[in-house]
Amino acid sequence: MDLNMRRHSASASTKVFTLAVRAMADDSADKSKIRNPESAYRLFSDFRSQVSLLRPGFAGQAGYTLVELMTVIAIIAVLAGLILGVAGYVTRKADESRATADMEKIKNALEEYRVAYGSYPTNTVANNSSNWVSALWRERQFLVLKGWNNTTVVYRAVDPWGNDYRYYYDADGNPVYATNNNSKFGYDLWSEGPNMTNTSDNINNWSGPRF
């Protein structure tokens, strides 16, 4: 390889390393911020255009330099991180959609129960869903969630993250009907979300994100 070819290959390798380092700095720190799967394809296209410059005129020769091998490894690592980030984002959005759909069903069932009995079912232990599920399911099946098929069984209403949906209402209003929706026709309904120690990802009926 003459001097110009070596310089050309070194320059292309440097560009690829720059792209790799920049991508890892921007995306690997927090993969949950990846919002558009097309970004992975654009990054791959940039990498591919630079890699194609690494060995001009030497396609028939065997063997690669250490710089070229390290470049390929860096590209694979970055693309793997992007793919995992996109997959995690898609999974999280699917779980949130399922939780929202479940809570909409619960809300409708609670309204049907109130119309039938004049009040929402009382439940003052918010993280125990068996009490209010029994009221909505065993007698008249106001609420039917996936897998519920036996009225002799008291099911739990569980969110996509394995925790009970939270519901609080005291029909006597003693001392309050509900903490956030404190009225005779108000109740608190929420999911703790994927992180039970962080309220910012909660899904509830009094603040964002709402259902």
> How high is the pLDDT of residue 26?
53
Residue 87 in this model has a pLDDT that exceeds 60: yes
Retrieve residue 62's tokens. Answer: 């065997």
Residue type, 197: T
> Closest by alpha carbon to 99, among 163, 143, 142?
163
Q: What is the dihedral of CA 119, 121, 122, 123, to 10 degrees?
A: -150
CA-to-CA distance for 106 and 96, rounded, in angstroms?
Answer: 15
Of the two residues 108 and 77, the one the predictor is more confident about is 108
> How high is the pLDDT of residue 81?
83
Residue 29 in this model has a pLDDT that exceeds 70: no
Residue 198 in this model has a pLDDT that exceeds 60: yes
CA-to-CA distance for 202 and 190, rounded, in angstroms?
Answer: 7
Of the two residues 17 and 78, the one the predictor is more confident about is 78
Q: For residues 42-51, give the mean pLDDT.
A: 55
Residue 90 in this model has a pLDDT that exceeds 80: yes
What burial letters (b/e) apply to 29-41, b meaning 16+ CB within 10 Å?
eebeebeeeebbe
At 59-75, the pLDDT tens digits run 445 567 888 888 888 88
Of the two residues 65 and 99, the one the predictor is more confident about is 99
> How high is the pLDDT of residue 4?
53
Q: What is the mean pLDDT of the chain?
A: 78
> How high is the pLDDT of residue 121?
94
Could you tell me whether strands 203-204 and 188-191 are parallel, antiparallel, or unpaired per DSSP bridges? antiparallel
Q: 187, 135 in Cβ contact below 8 A?
A: no
At 130-157, the pLDDT tens digits run 999 999 998 889 999 989 999 889 899 9
CA-to-CA distance for 67 and 177, rounded, in angstroms?
Answer: 68
Q: For residues 71-84, give the mean pLDDT.
A: 86
CA-to-CA distance for 176 and 122, rounded, in angstroms?
Answer: 12
Q: For residues 151-176, give the mean pLDDT.
A: 92
Q: Is 173 left (phi over 0), alpha (psi -120 to 50) or beta?
A: left
Q: 82, 189 in Cβ contact below 8 A?
A: no
Question: Is this structure's pTM higher than 0.75?
Answer: no
SS (H, E, C) 149-176: CCCCCCCCCECCCCCECEEEECCCCCCC
Residue showing tokens 């599920």: 133
> Closest by alpha carbon to 47, among 81, 12, 80?
12
> How high is the pLDDT of residue 59?
45
Of the two residues 48 and 131, the one the predictor is more confident about is 131
Of the two residues 202 and 57, the one the predictor is more confident about is 202
Q: Which helix (H) or strand (E) holds 204?
A: strand 203-204
